[in-house]
Amino acid sequence: MTTVTSTVAAPVHLSPNQRAWRRFFRNRTATVSALFLVAFVTLILLWPAISSTNPNAVSDAQFVKPNSHYLFGTDVHGRDLLSRICYGARVSLLVGLVGAVVSLVIGVSWGLVSGYAGGRTDAAMMRIVDVLYSMPTIVFVIVLITAMNATLAKTQTLSASTVRSLQFIGLFVGLGAVSWLTMARIVRGQVLSLRSRAFVDASRVLGATHTRILLKHILPNIYGIIIVYLTLTIPSIILYESFLSYLGLGIQPPQASLGSLIASGAEQINAVRIYWWLIIFPGATLALTLLALNFVGDGLRDAFDPRAER
């Protein structure tokens, strides 16, 4: 009797991060959301080449309903709403991304130093985080931006474009500077669990500096958690910006963001007539963008969860 043995190819060895990304792409909801974001970002970046319409150009075509020429209709000044949404989405995503990066840099740096140093340094740094946590975040941002705008208004030597640029930068910094606290706590907890591992002790015995240990050994082992939280921070900062723009403290005219477009549409609501397209289209764009970002963040969180390896 002849025995036939079948040869099965051994699975290719994958690193934990590679396995995590493979799990992410098996998540259909997260993958579809990521594809939507890629397509949406591509559209708004290429919009100036697709359409020659000036989003700030005023015309006599006021409150035109969506039609074949104006797909999303026009606003009170006769401006094409689709163009303003595309340009406004660029601003909102830029604010969210830059604010999240500012939060990432501050939070990761603070958490790395606090967790690795330990002892009194860790206690002092985390008490500062606790104090900042006790402050109402949005009120702090409103006070910060209001004070900055009042200071810039008193400056007579700066041009209007320079003032708007400084206000834009201040919005980035203000939103990012209040969003790093959770990131610092997450990173600090991860560092506390890694600093006593054998590979860290071995690096220390071999004479590696503290900076090298942090950057070469500890940081690469927590970058998955950092990516997850970065993805979840972007929508929260976009929501902050939209709320500030709704209050008139965010992006200033003639520039537009999704929040300011929603605020402009809400101003046109009256008992006689509701120009529904001024609310529906900016609101739907903002909602779909935030929903996709949250689905991507949830997918990354599940993919990089250590329990998924079991």
Is the pLDDT reported for residue 16 higher than 80?
no
Question: Which of the four pLDDT bands, split at 50, 70 and 90, describes residue 45?
Answer: very high
pLDDT reported for residue 33: 94
pLDDT reported for residue 281: 94
Which is more confidently placed, 239 or 160?
A: 239
What percent of the chain shows pLDDT beyond 90?
24
State the average pLDDT over residues 106-124.
91
Q: How many CB atoms lie within 10 A of CB 164?
A: 17
pLDDT reported for residue 5: 45
State the average pLDDT over residues 106-127.
91
Average pLDDT, the chain: 83
DSSP assignments along 83-122, one per residue: HHHHHHHHHHHHHHHHHHHHHHHHHHHHHHHHHHH-HHHH
Which is more confidently placed, 263 or 159?
A: 263
pLDDT reported for residue 162: 75
176 neighbors 99 (Cβ within 8 angstroms)? yes
What would the pLDDT profile of 123-145 be if each residue is shown by its tens digit? 999 999 988 888 777 777 788 77
pLDDT reported for residue 9: 43
Is the pLDDT reported for residue 8 higher than 50?
no
Nearest to 163 by CA among 255, 97, 245: 255
State the average pLDDT over residues 230-248.
81
pLDDT reported for residue 118: 86
Question: Which of the four pLDDT bands, split at 50, 70 and 90, describes residue 199?
Answer: confident
User: For residues 211 and 213, what is the distance between their CA atoms, to the nearest angstrom?
Assistant: 5
Domain 17-49+79-309, CATH = 1.10.3720.10
- Domain ranges in the chain are 17-49+79-309
Which is more confidently placed, 239 or 41?
A: 41
State the average pLDDT over residues 257-269.
84
Compute the C-alpha angle 55/57/59, nearest 5°: 125
What would the pLDDT profile of 17-41 be if each residue is shown by its tens digit? 778 888 889 999 999 999 999 999 9
State the average pLDDT over residues 97-107.
87
State the average pLDDT over residues 280-290.
92
| Burial bucket for residue 131 (CB in 10 Å: 0-12, 13-18, 19+) | exposed
State the average pLDDT over residues 104-110.
91
Q: What is the DSSP secondary structure assignment for residue 206, as one 8-state letter?
A: T
pLDDT reported for residue 6: 42
Q: Which two tokens stand for residue 166?
A: 């400084």
State the average pLDDT over residues 283-298.
90
